[in-house]
Structure 1
Amino acid sequence: MSDHPVSGNSVSGNSVSGNAFHGSAAFQVGDHNTQNIHHHITHSPPTHTSSTTVDPLDITADELARVVGAQWQEEAGLRRLLEPAPLPVRWRVSDRKVAGRVVGATGEGAGRARFGPLPGVGAITRERLRDGGGLRELHAVYGGLASGRLLLVGAPAAGKTAAAVLLLLDALVHRAAQVAPADRARVPVPVLLSLDGWNPGEETAVEWAADRLGREYTLFHGKGGRARARQLLEQGRISLFLDGLDEVTGRLRGAMVGALETAPFRLVLVSRAREAVLTAKKARLGGALALEIQPVRAADAAGYLLNRLPAEPSTAWRALTGRLLTEAGPLAPDPLAAALAGPLAIALLRDVYGDDDPVDELLDAARFPSAAAIENHLLDHAVVAAYTRRPGHPRPRYSATTAERTLRYMATRLTQEDTRDLRWWHIPGWTGRRPRLVAVWIVSAVVCGPPGVIMAWSLSPSLPIAVISTLSAIAGGYGIALQFAARSVPQPLSSAGWRDIFTRRTVGAGIAQWLFVGTALVLLIPLLVDHSPPYWFWYLVTLPLGFGEVLATGRGYEILSRAPFLSVGVGRYDMVREDFARPSVADTRSVSPRDVWRHHIGLRLFLGLLTGFALALYIGPMVAWSTSWPRGAEFALTAFLWTGATSGLVGNLAVATALTALQLHHEEGTPVRLVHFLEDARRRNLLRATGPVYQFRHARLQERLAAEKPT
């Protein structure tokens, strides 16, 4: 990960040394070190306790640093970026036409710099950039660049995102361990985001980033969360590392670069070099400094591989590393050295070949005449290698055959849709909806229909009534199935968290509605009838009206609108479409796709059943009081089942995805627990999580899996 040495227990320049860090966020980046991440915030005691107060934004920033550190520490571990003696990161100032003059970025002779150097980091000059450098120097550029605008470019699979992740972790180390507590507020918290989903024509960079932070970190959920995120961005207390510029369309890339021009925070933008050049023809990031990630040297690749082998490597490994050590550099004509010029191929090589495997077969010029042939061979075996049991590791939950079949199917679907983002809530659109429609129809009619038929028979025990009620149950089940089948069309995951639905305002409106209607009935009913129920009865049956008011005035509108007889009078709701659900958890952390899945299926089902119970509570007691308690129970059960099914099942994309997974299991042989499989594939470094979506670890892996399976 880092190419600077670590020794002793000192801090010098921009390097950090020592064996451990302790604090609100702690990371170690050198060799033979440990990490201690504390899941709480620590603050230095104020000098004057009587007059000094802690800025709430300081607490938020420190907690964000902890959460981001834990997130990317785990991700870096999955990507194997933190192992001993990692591959060095090397860069030089790019000579491609992707940015302006270097002096425009360093601010030399141009007066006041846009961003002052971070505490503990000196100002960057052209002289310091002349010879390029490694990860330590990259952090110095990040922290000392006057423009605060850094472009990381390079060839495909050159390790640009890996360099950005390692830079982010180094920036967190610097903030946590190398800066005095009094200066920590001047050091921004680095956050890595993907640029997908941003339309610069509709929202500014700050608005978009604040929204993304609110979606991806529970720290910014709830009342005021988005406002806190916006404050941190506007004050430059967050720096954004933006990946995926090369994955959006050309016109949109130019608009994004233009919108980032005036962003008030430090910025690191990651892109493939070719797309960066094309973007620069339409829009350039003012004051940006473009650094190009360099290919891995053959000797570095050999050293990296040897460090992970036994002290006495096998003959095959000695032959392969010996070939690398004899090469002059990464641009040598040898196919092996050219193939291993990128971190992706090196990591794949170690994944695919064990200590005793015949890795020297890659030296066969007849089988592997080019670097592309070697890379394709490694990509073709990546999935099998990830799901092959290794000594000391638990047995994989899925067979290599099942995993490869599933990932090939998904890669093909994503390639057909011209996207890299695997949104689990779009999976229902991947296959025909008819089998799910029939299944939901049958289940709804069988489960929800009998209570209604029994209720109708008890009211009028005759054959026509039985037939009509049975046909009504079948028709009702079909109606539910039609609404459920509509979820096969790709759409936003329009849901919200508990705090978005049960806010003080909505709960207050619900209580007011309940007390008003209940009190009105208590006062009016005795004037209209001689034998009215007791007071408590009217407060009981009007409770559902208060609950309906909570949903109608909050973001539970869609759940309520699905419920029979409860969709009237909810026009006051201010429609806010969320891109995905927002879990509300006790601790602060980043939100993963699996978190979104679990939250959505749990919240929607619970609120749907609660809505059914509300209608049952409304109808059942009134029927029971006017007729009999058994009949009231029949009405209540019927209302509960039908309303719960329509409001909780129909609008639940997580349920639709689960049923689609069953269908795909039958049609394509994919796992039944598809979301669980996706998370397992991420753990095996075949997928990565970007906010609420999954992506293949690299575009080349998706392309290769989507191609025709090699024979």
Structure 2
Amino acid sequence: MADPSSDGAEVFGNTFHGPTAFQAGDHNTQNIQHTHHHTALTPPPSPLDATADELARVIGAQWQEEAGLRQLLEPAPLPVRWRVSERKVAGRVVGATAEGAARARFGPLPGVPPATRARLRDGGGLPELHAVYGGLASGRLLLVGPPAAGKTATAVLLLLDALAHRAAQTAPADRARVPVPVLLSLDGWDPAHDTATDWAADRLTREYTLFHGRGGGARARQLLEQGRISLFLDGLDEVTGRLRGAMVSALETAPFRLVLVSRAREAVLTAKKARLGGALALEIQPVRPADAAGYLSNRLPAAPSAAWQTVTERLRTGDPAHPLATALASPLAIALLRDVYPDDGPVDELLDSVRFPSPAAVENHLLDHAVVAAYTPRPGHPRPRYSPETAERTLRHIARRLARDGSRDLRWWHIPGWTGQRPRMIAVWIVSTVVCGLPSTLLALRLEPSLVITVLGPLSMIGAGWGVALRLAKLSVPQPLASAGWRDIFTRETVTAGLVQWLSIGTALFWLVSLLPGFDHPPLWFWYLVTLPLGYSGVMVAGRGYEIVAYAPFLSVGAGRAYGRKRESDTSPSVVDSRSVGPRDVWRHHIGLRLFLGLLTGCALALYGGPMLAWNQTPLTGAVFALSAVLWTGATSGLAGNLAVATALAAVQLHHEEGTPVRLMHFLEDARRRNLLRATGPVYQFRHVRLQERLAADRPT
């Protein structure tokens, strides 16, 4: 057999390190080369087919919406061009294509020819990129390029093409061989503690409700292990260098197809420590001036303004080294130009080489006007709810805060740490003392109308109010996000245990009290009523609701550790609705469900003493006690212990200190829809790193 390295069609720049000849997953075709033919192992039907199809539907809806917000699809996508990278970031191309090798890690997808060195020689566009993705024997693809080269946008378009190819497979067996592409960011993964499969399965269970509930994590793991999911991993360049190398090493044996997105510089630095075996590195090419002109012309009216005609014509026929043409080699600059200048805007001012002597000057000008343009009223569009000044002031504050933290991720549950906690504590102290303390003081005076109670009662209420404020203060430092839904709290096992505990204790107390002589015995239903909170607390303590009851008297015994020892696959029933989970969904969960459960905890505590006081004293006394219990416990467990409430209070404080909107979460979602932010799981990020850096600067340069 001839040495493949001597083939003149070889594309240089990649050196192979690592295995390519092993079979991974039930749906990865093992191609065994014989003298005259190949034998393919056809996977049997799998019960995971319906789950994979539903995941494909959810992923498609998610990224179609995201691509629409980014304006990647209409009126037509910006042409994407790529070539095999000559940087030292991956192995030799022959290692990725497995030409001449006995085995390949992955067989080509149905309807996709094998990727070969000859097909890769001249590079290509999006259709050819999908052919490489689907036909690459190693299943390892690196997309690299300089900052703002459109790497993530390319990955999104490739993902949509992969979904379209999967949907085009009419035969179930063929569709089962096409993995569902899932785009994830690499933040939060520590390869020292979790394998790539473990981490990805956990992310899937947190970000897609399809995998919530009983067996969700197990189904996600099966899809990954069988190669039914391919991962598009973004943000390799945003983690530390040491961690990047560990991630690449951990991805070496992942049993699924991979598309890894990174800046070229960071990819080269990572490759010096660890290389992804069998990977093929493709570099996104700069946008050609003619392509930029065509893309911009497609969004203009049939008779564009003279300014736009001048710019597009100059891009087609002018000097390609002109600062504007050079700046528009970046998809970021093209997107900003499209957003900043309306159809009748003075876009031709960018041709002035005196005002804009360099591509950096053009890009900085566009970045400086991006926020104002997004919030400037335009005919035919809804009027923005926020003024350009408010929007820019808010986004600058956020960008500076993220720069101070050294992060790109805006975790809304960390916002309480952006302001001083003292004003919030004082406000909560006063409100809780007045609102919650008044009924409690009246109750104490009703039970024991003495001078001591008159003095000590208000003092006790002031101290209790301070305790609520201290509970709120604990949320002023970065917190882990507790995002369990009601299906994770009220599971079949915990509800059954709570019912057994309630009925057994209620019955036992009834018989125990009935043996006491000279006691006014309440009926059996009364004991079941007053012991009902024990069943509720049993449910909460044993599941993910333990943090809610942790500060409730008599309800928090044993809280905090039981759930951690339970396996996720044993806890919750499957869900019917399936969707991707974004920051707003997590916010609504906390502001709604967890707040409701906190108030419900107060109701449970009220049942401890309210009926007893009503039976032995007066109904009014029992009612006042119940009201006090609901207020105090609800304030402690539902309000002061709620991350969403703490964030809302911090937003009010930021409004007075920095001039940001009171409804900060609403503003963040609005900024996402205006293409300034993007959602990555439960966190927000600036759409463009350069925009975040520009906004974080003390003054424009």
Give the TM-score normalised by structure 2. Answer: 0.91
Residues 1:707 and 2:697 are matched in the alignment: yes
For 2:77, the equivalent position in structure 1 comes to 86
Residues 1:148 and 2:139 are matched in the alignment: yes
Does the 8 Å CA contact 2:541/2:549 hold for their aligned counterparts?
Answer: yes
For 1:253, the equivalent position in structure 2 comes to 244
Aligned-partner residue type, residue 312 of structure 1: A
Does the 8 Å CA contact 1:215/1:591 hold for their aligned counterparts?
Answer: yes
What is the distance in 2 between the residues matched to 1:431 and 1:645? 22
Secondary structure of the corresponding residue to residue 689 of structure 1: strand
Residues 1:474 and 2:462 are matched in the alignment: yes
CA distances 1:411-449 after superposition (whole Å, capped 9, x unpaired): 010011110000000000001111100011011101100
After TM superposition, the structure 1 stretch with the greater mean CA deviation from structure 2, 390-399 or 254-263, is 390-399
Q: Mark the CA change 1:110 to 1:362 in structure 2 (over 3 Å): closer, same or farther.
A: same
After TM superposition, the structure 1 stretch with the greater mean CA deviation from structure 2, 413-422 or 562-571, is 562-571
For 2:555, the equivalent position in structure 1 comes to 566
Residues 1:605 and 2:605 are matched in the alignment: no
Q: Deviation at 1:55?
A: 4.0
What is the distance in 2 between the residues matched to 1:518 and 1:462? 36
What is the distance in 2 between the residues matched to 1:75 and 1:478? 45
For 1:33, the equivalent position in structure 2 comes to none
CA distances 1:54-109 after superposition (whole Å, capped 9, x unpaired): 74310000000000000000000000000123211100000000001000000011
What is the distance in 2 between the residues matched to 1:233 and 1:163? 23
What is the distance in 1 between the residues matched to 2:673 and 2:699? 24
For 2:443, the equivalent position in structure 1 comes to 455
For 2:256, the equivalent position in structure 1 comes to 265
Residues 1:691 and 2:681 are matched in the alignment: yes
Does the 8 Å CA contact 2:537/2:556 hold for their aligned counterparts?
Answer: no
What is the distance in 1 between the residues matched to 2:560 and 2:699? 53
For 1:366, the equivalent position in structure 2 comes to 354
What is the distance in 2 between the residues matched to 1:241 and 1:381? 32
For 1:46, the equivalent position in structure 2 comes to none
For 1:111, the equivalent position in structure 2 comes to 102
Does the 8 Å CA contact 2:235/2:262 hold for their aligned counterparts?
Answer: yes
After TM superposition, the structure 1 stretch with the greater mean CA deviation from structure 2, 244-253 or 645-654, is 645-654
What is the distance in 2 between the residues matched to 1:93 and 1:606? 55
Q: For structure 1, list consecutive stretches of 5 or more residues without a partner in the other structure.
A: 1-52
After TM superposition, the structure 1 stretch with the greater mean CA deviation from structure 2, 98-107 or 486-495, is 486-495
What is the distance in 2 between the residues matched to 1:85 and 1:556? 48
Does the 8 Å CA contact 2:483/2:589 hold for their aligned counterparts?
Answer: no
Match of 2:546 among 557, 564, 570: 557
For 2:16, the equivalent position in structure 1 comes to none
Q: Deviation at 1:466?
A: 1.4
What is the distance in 1 between the residues matched to 2:131 and 2:483? 42
CA distances 1:531-581 after superposition (whole Å, capped 9, x unpaired): 311111111111110111111111111111111232223466143799xxx
What is the distance in 2 between the residues matched to 1:64 and 1:409? 37
Moved over 6 A (4+): 582-585
For 2:585, the equivalent position in structure 1 comes to 595
Q: Mark the CA change 1:380 to 1:572 in structure 2 (over 3 Å): closer, same or farther.
A: closer
Match of 2:364 among 362, 366, 376: 376
Secondary structure of the corresponding residue to residue 515 of structure 2: helix
Does the 8 Å CA contact 2:547/2:559 hold for their aligned counterparts?
Answer: no
For 1:536, the equivalent position in structure 2 comes to 525
For 2:311, the equivalent position in structure 1 comes to 320
Secondary structure of the corresponding residue to residue 277 of structure 1: helix
What is the distance in 1 between the residues matched to 2:615 and 2:303? 87
Q: Mark the CA change 1:62 to 1:290 in structure 2 (over 3 Å): closer, same or farther.
A: same
Match of 2:157 among 158, 166, 174: 166
After TM superposition, the structure 1 stretch with the greater mean CA deviation from structure 2, 59-68 or 354-363, is 354-363
Does the 8 Å CA contact 2:440/2:624 hold for their aligned counterparts?
Answer: yes
Q: Deviation at 1:585?
A: 7.4
Does the 8 Å CA contact 2:549/2:637 hold for their aligned counterparts?
Answer: yes
For 2:92, the equivalent position in structure 1 comes to 101
Residues 1:222 and 2:222 are matched in the alignment: no
**Count of aligned positions:** 653
Give the percent of matched residue pairs that are identical in Structure 1 and Structure 2.
Answer: 78
What is the distance in 2 between the residues matched to 1:274 and 1:626? 77
Does the 8 Å CA contact 1:583/1:596 hold for their aligned counterparts?
Answer: no
Q: Deviation at 1:316?
A: 1.4
Aligned-partner residue type, residue 531 of structure 2: T
For 1:67, the equivalent position in structure 2 comes to 58
Listed as ranges, the matches of 1:487-526 within 5 Å are 487-526=475-514
CA RMSD of aligned residues (A): 1.7
CA distances 1:273-329 after superposition (whole Å, capped 9, x unpaired): 00000000000000000000000001111111112222232221122122211246x
CA distances 1:510-530 after superposition (whole Å, capped 9, x unpaired): 011011101111222111133
Which structure has the higher relative contact order (CA within 8 Å, separation 6+)? 2
What is the distance in 2 between the residues matched to 1:306 and 1:517? 76
Does the 8 Å CA contact 2:209/2:575 hold for their aligned counterparts?
Answer: yes
What is the distance in 1 between the residues matched to 2:549 and 2:649? 23
Aligned-partner residue type, residue 119 of structure 1: P
What is the distance in 2 between the residues matched to 1:106 and 1:151? 14
What is the distance in 1 between the residues matched to 2:616 and 2:420? 48
Does the 8 Å CA contact 1:120/1:179 hold for their aligned counterparts?
Answer: no
Q: For structure 2, list consecutive stretches of 5 or more residues without a partner in the other structure.
A: 1-43
Listed as ranges, the matches of 1:266-281 within 5 Å are 266-281=257-272
Does the 8 Å CA contact 1:387/1:396 hold for their aligned counterparts?
Answer: yes
